[in-house]
Amino acid sequence: MDLQDKSVLVIGGGLAGITASLELAGQGVRVALVEKDDFLGGQAARLACKALDTCQKCNGCLAEPRLAAVLSHPGIELWRRSRVEQVVRNGRGFTVRLRQEPAYVDPERCNGCGQCLEVCPAAGEGALRAPLIPGDRPRLAISPTSCLYFKDQRSTLCQDICPEEAIDFGQTPRQVEIKADALVLATGFQPYPAATKERLGHGRVADVVTALELEQGLRDHGGPVRPSDGRPPASVAFIQCVGSRERLGHNYCSRVCCGYALRLGRHLRSRHGAQVSIFYMDLQSFGHALDDFMAAARQELNLIRSMPYDVYQGHGGQVVLEYQAVSGQPPVKGRFDLVVLSVGMAPNPDNPQLAQACGAGLDHHGFLSSRPGVFVAGAATRPLDMAEVVAQAAGAAQEALRYLEECP
């Protein structure tokens, strides 16, 4: 059957959505890729390389080449800043109504000169954003939630100074309808909101960050820095299972946290000379060559089987962790320059509404499952690491292709 007559709408422009789109378009299927953000890549775009002298197989490099392939593929139509408003099933196909928010920065005109960033009074609050993966377009995007123009309709400094006249605040949303023979849901995951664990200090103590924030800092600065003073930390503590394996709430293991904490810890020790401690309940198996990796980690890192129960600002700028080093003994205090919370993977909060609209399955945690004509890719199904996301998304695309081949 000629698949060039078939079309698939992929919802989610992270690593899973990009992978599924490339697999489908590679077979001649017309693909519409829908992403609610200005930029593609999802959470994977925030990850940094954790290589030592050799690769640690963290798979943080998987997103960039796939993004480049999607941007240049003639069979993939991109719908950025777009959300699904309605899905109507017509026999074996679908009609999907999207709402697309305006592109206040014209990607064809913007040359990335940065003059708007220099004059924007809210640039530090994220009013102007750049893509995390080089090569994505637009080079800059305006965030209406932070931009002062959307608060007073007078702050047009960026528009006034732009030499290419690339900024236009007069743009309005639009609705479009797309017909598709199948859907792929690649909504990814949401990092557990660390601030809800108030005792661990995120949002309260300046030098307590999440692992994803640390990764993004490594990408932005080339090394770890303390948010409070911009200095590199000499001592770092990781706290595991933040938002995972809870008796009430997310009572599942997020599976990736042990691997990324150990790799990040080894990277900080090897490349930046930091002394690293990891507080854990137990360490879950992950990846290949596990015995060799764990032997190296035990030599390089201080692995402490205890979960801190209080984190607060100490004297001299350090962060204090209180924990019980020996059962039945009084608590001890550890002092660190930086504390990193290994947050778990929570399902995308859009999943229930999307499942109802599309007819996908939804488990009691909030993760999605496939149904005929609706295929779920990547971490929308369950917590997965990067390599697993790529493999699972490719598998979801193959299921969609088989479905298309059966369509009249």
Tell me, yes or no, whether 385 and 300 share the same domain.
no
Terminal alpha carbon distance of the chain: 9
Residues 323 and 349: their CA atoms lie apart, in Å, by 33
Q: What pLDDT, in 10s, does the model give residues 335-369?
A: 999 999 999 999 999 999 999 999 999 999 999 99
Which class for 348: exposed (0-12), middle (13-18), buried (19 or more C-beta within 10 A)? Answer: buried
Flag whether 239 is in a domain: yes
pLDDT on residue 288: 59
Tell me, yes or no, whether 216 and 280 share the same domain.
yes
pLDDT on residue 57: 85
Expressed as residue numbers, the domain containing 82 is 3-101+173-188+348-406
Q: Which of 345, 378, 398 is the last residue of a domain?
A: 345
Flag whether 157 is in a domain: no
Tell me, yes or no, whether 213 and 341 share the same domain.
yes
Residues 85 and 82: their CA atoms lie apart, in Å, by 9
Q: What pLDDT, in 10s, does the model give residues 275-294?
A: 999 999 988 766 655 678 88
Q: Which of 308, 327, 345 is the last residue of a domain?
A: 345
pLDDT on residue 294: 86
Residue 298 sits in a domain whose CATH number is 3.50.50.60
Tell me, yes or no, whether 183 and 93 share the same domain.
yes
Tell me, yes or no, whether 340 and 352 share the same domain.
no
What are the beta bridge partners of residue 280?
Answer: none
The SS3 assignment for 296 reads helix
What are the beta bridge partners of residue 96?
Answer: 87, 178
Number of domains forming the structure of the chain = 2
Q: Which long-range contacts (CB under 8 A, 24 or more apart) does 349-355 make?
A: 349/190, 350/187, 351/187, 351/380, 354/11, 354/84, 354/185, 354/187
What is the pLDDT of the chain when averaged over all its residues?
93
pLDDT on residue 184: 98
Confidence of residue 334 (pLDDT cuts 50, 70, 90): very high
Count CA within 13 A, CB hemisphere, residue 40: 30
Residues 337 and 274: their CA atoms lie apart, in Å, by 10
What are the beta bridge partners of residue 191?
Answer: 345
Q: Which of 316, 345, 374 is the last residue of a domain?
A: 345
Q: What pLDDT, in 10s, does the model give residues 32-90?
A: 999 999 999 999 999 988 988 888 888 889 999 999 999 999 999 999 999 999 999 99
Tell me, yes or no, whether 51 and 177 share the same domain.
yes
Q: What pLDDT, in 10s, does the model give residues 291-309?
A: 788 888 999 999 999 999 9
Q: What pLDDT, in 10s, does the model give residues 5-39?
A: 999 999 999 999 999 999 999 999 999 999 999 99
**What is the torsional sign of CA 182, 186, 187, 189?**
positive
**Dihedrals φ, ψ of 151, to 5°?**
-105, -35
Tell me, yes or no, whether 209 and 179 share the same domain.
no
Tell me, yes or no, whether 253 and 361 share the same domain.
no
